[in-house]
Chains A and B, each alone.
Chain A
């Protein structure tokens, strides 16, 4: 019903992830399931998934990634894929998790894939939900990738450069298939985050770095995708405003053994818009079924 009732019984806490103060929403005990949202996002994007995953016997953790939410936003780093991988690694070290299931949406999906490539022994499974970072060989996909980066940069900049309630709402409505899900509470949460002093100081750089040309060298091309050896599933949505389902399905075919699910009636946040369906898929996959 509201964020509060969606995650009643969960904790909101801060960890020292190797020097970076990191906010999470977490619940449950068991194998860690670490969830990461997209560019300019925050832990609340998984608010409808934390308690259901915890109830299935996992330690469900939604993370504010570095430069995002209430986590530290250092000004003197490059917000490229390796930084997000390093933050995730330091976070896992901080909670004493040798291995974890990774669930990443958008930018978080990119980070999860990169982490699985760099630290395969620490990944129990990999789920990319409307994930960023895929770069297929064909010309159409290459053009789409560039266009998506440009769109994401422009739209995020529009909301974060001089944040107002209306601009933040517009950015969120772009994400959502059902615009009515962009509640006042969601808008206020994001607006409050965007107007934190450190967000005001660093978000411009975060957006420019993540969606900028230099970070494209960390994109996941076909050869790289084929070398992912984690148990993987790709969850997409029929109305995703970024990368098309056509690309996502091909990605799933390239990653050895990967599953592919297309969620109906959802935009960029299927785990929020179609939470029950996605929770069902996640729990089944995490339980190794």
Chain B
């Protein structure tokens, strides 16, 4: 399998989203499923799972504002990223869809689900951000390490720095293939990638944190997917899941922040079950 064969039969387009040139991939047939990648990411973060989902779903993945090959936005806080993602979904004319997000993609997915609850059939949150403040996250040294590696990869995007960044996301470094490394290395080279990343980091997102008072409004089926070795504590995820009326938690061994890549087939089974067997579709 390669990224190319993963996407074979699908489309890769650049679409105009209110003036923001946005890279977008679509593949497969079935109910619509939207995938939102994480901070510093790009749609290739889903490369391993896309071919597993395509037989069951019409899979839509795109680069978030300023990420990957999508143009930068005016601002890169959660509100701006959510607005851009919502605009993409409007332009794609998706009215009812399943939604999965990883890291800040999970945060954005939850924001979308809160603002358009009727559109969302089900919500999968893979290692989601936004459940606690940055200050609380920093209490964990593993978060600090991931955070620093990410900063170094953007500041001076050598192949070694990009590899070190990915290593901080993976439980098994051997799961980092050359194609992922090469792709991310290329995407990190432009000066604008550095600027966006800095803006994403410096954004004050405290107003957009996901509170229990908000999570209680999520009426669709919700699944939290954790990596066993994640830097987000189980207690934080448990508190969030307890707040959602219909939420479950699934923890995957052999994974850290990128279970959708390291444990793609397990995550595919979880998503398919969530979206097809729990009344979402």
Known interface pairs A13-B11, A189-B8. Does A8 touch B2 (Cβ–Cβ under 8 Å)? Answer: no
Cβ of A154 within 8 Å of any chain B Cβ, yes or no, is no
Cβ of B179 within 8 Å of any chain A Cβ, yes or no, is yes
Residues from chain A with Cβ under 8 Å of B13 in the complex:
11-13
Partner of A5, one of B7, B14, B69, B179: B179
A174 to B85, CA, bound (A): 47
Closest chain-B Cβ to A208's Cβ sits at a distance in Å of 26
Using an 8 Å CB-CB cutoff, how does the interface string of B175-202 with A read, 1 for contact, 0 for none?
0001100110011000000000000000
CB under 8 Å from chain B, chain A span 194-240: none
A9 to B69, CA, bound (A): 7
Partner of A70, one of B4, B9, B69, B182: B9
Partner of B8, one of A8, A9, A192: A192
Contact B7 A1, beta carbon cutoff 8 Å: no
Residues from chain A with Cβ under 8 Å of B9 in the complex:
70, 192
CB under 8 Å from chain B, chain A span 40-75: 44, 70
Cβ of B144 within 8 Å of any chain A Cβ, yes or no, is no
Cβ of A118 within 8 Å of any chain B Cβ, yes or no, is no
Closest chain-B Cβ to A134's Cβ sits at a distance in Å of 33
**Interface residue count on the A side (C-beta < 8 Å):** 19
Residues from chain B with Cβ under 8 Å of A5 in the complex:
179, 182-183, 186
A3's nearest neighbour on chain B, judged by CB, is B4
Residues from chain B with Cβ under 8 Å of A70 in the complex:
9
Which residue, B1, B3, B8, B10, has most C-beta atoms of chain A within 10 A?
A: B8
Which residue, A12, A44, A184, has most C-beta atoms of chain B within 10 A?
A: A12
Contact A1 B182, beta carbon cutoff 8 Å: yes
Residues from chain B with Cβ under 8 Å of A1 in the complex:
178-179, 182
Using an 8 Å CB-CB cutoff, how does the interface string of B84-127 with A read, 1 for contact, 0 for none?
00000000000000000000000000000000000000000000
Known interface pairs A185-B2, A189-B8. Does A11 touch B14 (Cβ–Cβ under 8 Å)? Answer: yes
B6's nearest neighbour on chain A, judged by CB, is A4
Cβ of B277 within 8 Å of any chain A Cβ, yes or no, is no
B7's nearest neighbour on chain A, judged by CB, is A12
Which residue, A1, A2, A4, A184, has most C-beta atoms of chain B within 10 A?
A: A4
Residues from chain A with Cβ under 8 Å of B178 in the complex:
1
A173 to B85, CA, bound (A): 45
A12 to B11, CA, bound (A): 5
Contact B5 A185, beta carbon cutoff 8 Å: yes
A2 to B7, CA, bound (A): 13
Contact A4 B11, beta carbon cutoff 8 Å: no
**Interface residue count on the B side (C-beta < 8 Å):** 21
Residues from chain B with Cβ under 8 Å of A185 in the complex:
2, 4-5
Residues from chain A with Cβ under 8 Å of B179 in the complex:
1-2, 4-5
Closest chain-A Cβ to B48's Cβ sits at a distance in Å of 13
Partner of A10, one of B5, B12, B44, B186: B12
A192 to B8, CA, bound (A): 9
Cβ of A14 within 8 Å of any chain B Cβ, yes or no, is yes
Known interface pairs A1-B178, A5-B179. Does A12 touch B10 (Cβ–Cβ under 8 Å)? Answer: yes
A189 to B2, CA, bound (A): 10
Closest chain-A Cβ to B188's Cβ sits at a distance in Å of 12
Closest chain-B Cβ to A99's Cβ sits at a distance in Å of 24
Partner of B183, one of A4, A10, A11: A4
Residues from chain A with Cβ under 8 Å of B11 in the complex:
11-14
Which residue, A5, A14, A184, has most C-beta atoms of chain B within 10 A?
A: A5
Known interface pairs A8-B69, A8-B186. Does A2 touch B12 (Cβ–Cβ under 8 Å)? Answer: no
Using an 8 Å CB-CB cutoff, how does the interface string of A10-21 with B read, 1 for contact, 0 for none?
111110000000
Using an 8 Å CB-CB cutoff, how does the interface string of A272-283 with B read, 1 for contact, 0 for none?
000000000000
Residues from chain B with Cβ under 8 Å of A192 in the complex:
5, 8-9
A189 to B182, CA, bound (A): 20
Contact B8 A2, beta carbon cutoff 8 Å: no
Cβ of A178 within 8 Å of any chain B Cβ, yes or no, is no
A216 to B8, CA, bound (A): 34
A85 to B47, CA, bound (A): 37
Closest chain-A Cβ to B30's Cβ sits at a distance in Å of 18
- Show the binding face of A for B, using Cβ within 8 Å: 1-5, 8-14, 44, 70, 184-185, 188-189, 192
- Show the binding face of B for A, using Cβ within 8 Å: 1-5, 7-14, 44, 69, 178-179, 182-183, 186-187
Question: Besides the contacts A1-B182, A189-B8, what 10 more A-B pairs have beta carbons closer than 8 Å?
Answer: A2-B179, A4-B4, A11-B11, A11-B12, A12-B7, A12-B11, A13-B11, A13-B13, A189-B4, A192-B9
> Closest 4 A-B residue pairs measured CB to CB?
A3-B4, A4-B3, A185-B2, A12-B12
Q: What would 10 A/B residue contacts be, using CB atoms closer than 8 Å? A: A1-B178, A2-B179, A4-B44, A5-B183, A8-B69, A8-B186, A10-B12, A11-B11, A188-B1, A188-B5
